[in-house]
Structure 1
């Protein structure tokens, strides 16, 4: 399975590299065709050892931008064009300009969108103290759970940055699925880690086409050799100390 990561979508003139136009997103959907799956189907497939084939694509959106509700949900989910997506919320940003309100988040949750935590203030979790790390993970989780009335088990690392200390703390906090922005298949080097392609507006449609055909094609020589020799997990554990 392939997991794609988006941020804000706009009509025109993106304000930063992670902001894409509606036209670009439409082109991506055309490439995905009938391969899109719901978050629920993705989570079910995660337990299947044969689910690493590139036969399914999951959409995820980070940072709780208003376009999750006004564009993706309103124009694609409610019309049945896409089967849903994951939305990762930095709780401190809820209700601020250009971001989702609690009412919108609750409606998304009822409408089949999988809500996950993106921490409190979107900080690099590898650089904070243990106390601040615990707050980012547990308070954001409890606030989302209080509003949604259900358990929240999905977490996306801000900036995609993590370490063994960070993922251990996230697992202790009760998260079961942790998302980063490494290239490749949905499965990371640990069963609870999930890789995503973070889309930027300098990635053209051909780039997306190549990624959908083979998400490992753009990985480097070290990855290929370490994977072939079955050393990738050990190398990543050493790197993430």
Structure 2
């Protein structure tokens, strides 16, 4: 399976590289076709050891932008264009200009959109103190679960940055699926890590088309050599020990 990562969608000119136009997003949907799956289907397939071979695509959105509600949900989910998506929320940002309110997030949750945590203040978890790490992981989870009335097992590392210390803390907190930003199929070198391709407005349709055809095509020689020799997982575990 392949996981795509987006941020904000706009009708006008993008204000930063991670902001895409709705027109560009529609072109991405056309490339994905009927390969799109709901978060619920994705999570079920995560328990399948052969899931990497499944020709499916999951959409995820980070940072709780208003366009998750007005654009992705309002324009594409409600009319059946896409089966759903995952929205990762930095709790401190809720209700800020350009971000969703709690009422919007709760409506998405009730509609079957998977809500995950993106921490409290969207900070790099590899460089925070133990108390800050606890706040980012545990407090964000507690607040989201209190607002939604359900467990929140999904977490996306801000900036895609992670470490063994950070993921162990996340697992102890009760998260079961940890999302980062890396090339390749969804399975990382640990079973609880999930790779995503972060789409920017500097990537053209051909780039996404190639990724959908072969998500490992963008990886370098070191990955290809270590994978061929069966050493990739061991090397990454040493790196993040």
Q: Which TM-score applies when normalising by structure 1? A: 0.99
Identify the residue that residue 175 of structure 2 maps to in structure 1. Answer: 175
RMSD: 0.7
Q: Structure 2: how far apart are the matches of 1:86 and 1:68?
A: 9
Runs of 4+ in 1 over 6 A off after TM superposition: none
Hey, what does 1:198 align to over in structure 2? 198
User: Number of aligned pairs?
Assistant: 241
Deviations 1:129-179 (A, max 9, x none): 111101100000000000000000000000000000000000000000000
2:68 is the alignment partner of 1:68:
yes
8 Å contact 1:54–1:212 — kept in the other structure? no
8 Å Cα contact 1:162-1:240 kept in structure 2: no
> Tell me, what secondary structure is at the counterpart of 1:212?
helix
Aligned pairs for 1:145-156 (under 5 A) are 145-156=145-156
1:42-90 Cα deviation digits (max 9, x unpaired) = 0000011111025100000000000000010011111111000000000
**CA deviation map 1:101-155 (0-9, x unaligned):** 0000000000110000000000000000111101100000000000000000000
Query: Is the Cα contact below 8 Å between 1:155 and 1:177 reproduced in 2?
Result: yes
Structure 1, unmatched stretches of 5+, are none
Counterpart CA distance in 2 for 1:16 and 1:239 is 32
Q: Which runs of 5+ in 2 are unaligned?
A: none
TM-score (norm 2): 0.99
Partners of 2:136 and 2:218 in 1: CA distance: 33
1:124 and 1:89 mapped to 2: Cα distance? Answer: 15
- CA distance in structure 1 between the partners assigned to 2:136 and 2:17 by the alignment: 26
Structure 1 residue 228 displacement after superposition:
1.2
Hey, what does 2:208 align to over in structure 1? Answer: 208
Instruction: Quote the residue 2:217 is aligned against.
Output: 217
